[in-house]
Structure 1
């Protein structure tokens, strides 16, 4: 736990470093951030932060720079501050109007271009049909190695998804599975269904059916994606020009719509994912993500950039988008 003064100094250092990418001295901090303490006190506090592994000193005569741990501390604290104060943030109606207008075109490339133009980072947006709640899921026997998953939704739509079993199951096995699965999924969002299925513990005889049902649902929900768009790859190339492997992996995942599967896009608010939290191959990037809903358009927005980027600007923007989508949904309702 950092003292209030230590946290203030650390947050100031990280904030300034992310904007200017140069080491900071105690005198610079006092002058720039109007700290009401002596240079000696700031130097002592910076030494404490260095001992805690939150600051580095590149050269003996240079100022300090934040470590990866410091950047992550800064981002999590910053995100929490925005989350706690989002009700008092000034409403950005122009942003909401522009998002609504672009989403109504159905062209997610325009949305991605717009957001990437603001953030100067790689942006990916994908739009989904409005989520339905599950009213019932029934597994019906077709053949000894094929069943039909019938999903009844709150919109009164009925999905029918064939699922291979690979092993012969009795009617009793299928009835047992149907009863158990309904206890877990009733009134849950359709998009949560694959995750719920995957985490279910079932008897060994039903293990293959569970895995095959999970894969069938994943493929079906992927087909519900209306469209997606990405823009700003040139920004990340410019900032990570020497990291060829990461850029190649990222380009492939963006083009093949795999990136959204690497993060948990079902969380509320604005979420920041660092490096290995995304995938081991992405240790040098971060993803800032939020869900949105404007009129009949629901989807997810991701900003992808190097681990050192302007988090404050981007997190604030995504809270603006999140808040505008909530305000417009409330007013239309």
Structure 2
């Protein structure tokens, strides 16, 4: 365990480097009001911290910068989460109250809000769409074998998808099927529609449908939701403002990754427990993130984990502010989504 003096020096180096992006020297630390020891003592402690792996020394500078081990110690032991000012908190609440009135728009807006509050790239995984309840279904024929299904859920989510109509199903049968769904399946979670059809109204369907299996195949297409559609990004270009990523060759793999919803979905899906999780540099599984930190936090609906918000930035991230903002934002988001869900 580090001594109190070593912890103080490490904390100051991390916080100074986060703001300046320049290596930190002993003279800079000695000028801080809370420091009462000499530059020589600081240099000795910095050398020890470097030897233990908490600091690194760029070849071109006499100053030190935090290592990934140093950032991890800072996050785990030295960080006190930032609190939004009353004015910032008021503005955040006002955005949610004034601009959003349905769950999907809440989640989309959250990505923009989070990126603007942190100045990093925000990643948001929307609630499990299959938990949403069916409010209305419409099926619009495009040809004999194709149609567009429009699903409206209780949360305001609208899903449009092209489906293939199995051979032998007439337009009249499709109309009867849609009418039955809208009449009998209203307020049933999408993931339970098929099982409820089988258990409760199978006989009714058999009575009206000549192509029962074909109709159930059509239903599978309608209620299947691509998980990647739940990914929302905010402030993607914020990464361009970081000195670490001014090298285009270093930046390109990261931007390519952000364009792939499946990859971002998998990144956010790694967290399935409540609370905040910080992954620094090589703690991330993806090679593109070896120089990045990813902070994720879960939000809830009626006390159950519903989705994840995340912030992606350089390892030289302002951890204190980001963690504090995410704690407060996810609390507000959980409260709002719970109210919308009821």
Tell me the TM-score normalized by structure 2: 0.60
The question of whether the paired residues in 2 share the 8 Å contact of 1:265 and 1:300 is answered with yes
Matches of 2:3 and 2:225, distance apart in 1: 47
Q: 1:96-175 residue pairs with structure 2 within 5 A?
A: 96-99=93-96, 101-105=98-102, 106-107=104-105, 108-129=107-128, 158=192, 160=194
Matches of 1:249 and 1:45, distance apart in 2: 36
Matches of 2:288 and 2:121, distance apart in 1: 17
Distance change (3 Å), C-alpha of 1:324 and 1:244: same
2:317 is aligned, of 309, 312, 317, to 309
Q: CA deviation at 1:116?
A: 1.5
Partner residue in 1 for 2:143: none
Bigger shift: residues 63-72 or 247-256: 247-256
The question of whether the paired residues in 2 share the 8 Å contact of 1:130 and 1:298 is answered with no
Decide which structure has the larger Cα Rg and report it: 2
Partner residue in 2 for 1:39: 39
Distance change (3 Å), C-alpha of 1:155 and 1:235: closer
Matches of 2:59 and 2:267, distance apart in 1: 38
Partner residue in 2 for 1:28: 28
Partner residue in 2 for 1:50: 50
Distance change (3 Å), C-alpha of 1:258 and 1:329: closer
Matched, 1:63 2:63: yes
Distance change (3 Å), C-alpha of 1:61 and 1:260: closer
The question of whether the paired residues in 1 share the 8 Å contact of 2:119 and 2:235 is answered with yes
Aligned residues: 253
Matched, 1:265 2:278: no
Matches of 1:283 and 1:251, distance apart in 2: 15
Matches of 2:61 and 2:306, distance apart in 1: 52
Aligned-partner SS, 1:278: coil
| Gapped regions of structure 1 (runs ≥ 5) | 133-153, 162-219
The question of whether the paired residues in 2 share the 8 Å contact of 1:13 and 1:24 is answered with yes
Matches of 1:223 and 1:45, distance apart in 2: 53
Matches of 2:323 and 2:224, distance apart in 1: 28
Partner residue in 1 for 2:256: 251
Q: C-alpha deviations, 1:125-170, integer Å up to 9, x for none?
A: 23214886xxxxxxxxxxxxxxxxxxxxx97962658xxxxxxxxx
CA RMSD, 1 decimal: 4.1
Q: 1:311-330 residue pairs with structure 2 within 5 A?
A: 311-325=319-333
The question of whether the paired residues in 2 share the 8 Å contact of 1:92 and 1:324 is answered with no
Matches of 1:301 and 1:49, distance apart in 2: 33
Aligned-partner SS, 1:258: helix
The question of whether the paired residues in 1 share the 8 Å contact of 2:23 and 2:61 is answered with no
The question of whether the paired residues in 1 share the 8 Å contact of 2:122 and 2:234 is answered with yes
Distance change (3 Å), C-alpha of 1:44 and 1:159: farther
Matches of 1:95 and 1:112, distance apart in 2: 13
Matched, 1:237 2:240: yes
Aligned-partner SS, 1:299: strand
Q: C-alpha deviations, 1:171-195, integer Å up to 9, x for none?
A: xxxxxxxxxxxxxxxxxxxxxxxxx
Partner residue in 1 for 2:209: none
Aligned-partner SS, 1:95: helix
Q: CA deviation at 1:285?
A: 1.7
| Gapped regions of structure 2 (runs ≥ 5) | 132-187, 196-222
1:290 is aligned, of 293, 297, 308, to 297
Q: CA deviation at 1:227?
A: 4.4
Matches of 1:327 and 1:32, distance apart in 2: 41
Matches of 1:221 and 1:78, distance apart in 2: 45
The question of whether the paired residues in 2 share the 8 Å contact of 1:290 and 1:300 is answered with yes
Aligned-partner SS, 1:104: coil
Partner residue in 2 for 1:95: 92
Tell me the TM-score normalized by structure 1: 0.61
